[in-house]
């Protein structure tokens, strides 16, 4: 039951990060507007990350040793960046450095693609963790 709670907290945490960052950059009304527009991506990314944390926690309890945290970290970072990409072009106003401005403009142009990249990373992370759980289950039998 603790593992389910960790997954739920992780999913809610990712949503909280989204709303905090977008609200700080562009205001709370814009954050809600973007959420209403892309809710299926944002909730999908958040749920995928929560599932990964649940699987990781379950795997860790089964093994009782250090398991690879890299996949979860990469997927979580990708999910967060994909979720925040919706407002990255507004950072241009507060970051007048030419190199950063170009990167942020590029990110804002490929917002939907970044959502899909985040979803693919989530899916791959879930598959990896499920394969590790399956391997451990067959080894214990």
Secondary structure of residue 80 in the 3-state scheme? helix
Structure token digits, residue 56: 């990781």
CA–CA gap between residue 116 and residue 94 (Å, rounded): 27
pLDDT tens-digit profile of 9-67?
Answer: 989 998 898 898 888 877 899 889 989 998 998 899 889 888 988 988 888 787 765 55
Contact (CB, 8 A) for 11 and 49: yes
Share of the chain above pLDDT 90, in %: 10
Whole-number average pLDDT of the chain = 75
The band of 8, judged by pLDDT with boundaries at 50, 70 and 90, is very high
Contact (CB, 8 A) for 33 and 84: no
Give the pLDDT score at 84: 59
Chain Cα centroid distance, residue 25: 19
Which residues span the domain enclosing 116?
2-140
| Helical segments of 27-110, H only | 28-63, 70-84, 98-109
Total number of domains in the chain: 1
């Amino acid at each position: 039951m603790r593992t389910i709670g960790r997954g739920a907290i992780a999913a809610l945490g990712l949503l909280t990060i989204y709303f905090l960052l977008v609200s700080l950059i562009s205001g709370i009304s814009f954050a809600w507007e973007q959420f209403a527009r892309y809710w299926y991506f944002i909730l999908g990314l958040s749920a995928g990350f929560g599932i990964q944390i649940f699987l990781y926690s379950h795997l860790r309890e089964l093994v009782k040793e250090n398991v690879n945290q890299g996949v979860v970290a990469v997927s979580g970072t990708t999910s967060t960046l994909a979720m925040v990409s919706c407002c990255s072009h507004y950072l241009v106003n507060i970051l007048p450095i030419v190199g950063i401005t170009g990167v942020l403009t590029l990110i804002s142009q490929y917002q939907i693609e970044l959502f899909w990249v985040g979803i693919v990373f989530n899916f791959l992370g879930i598959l990896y963790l499920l394969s590790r759980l399956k391997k451990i289950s067959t080894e214990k039998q």
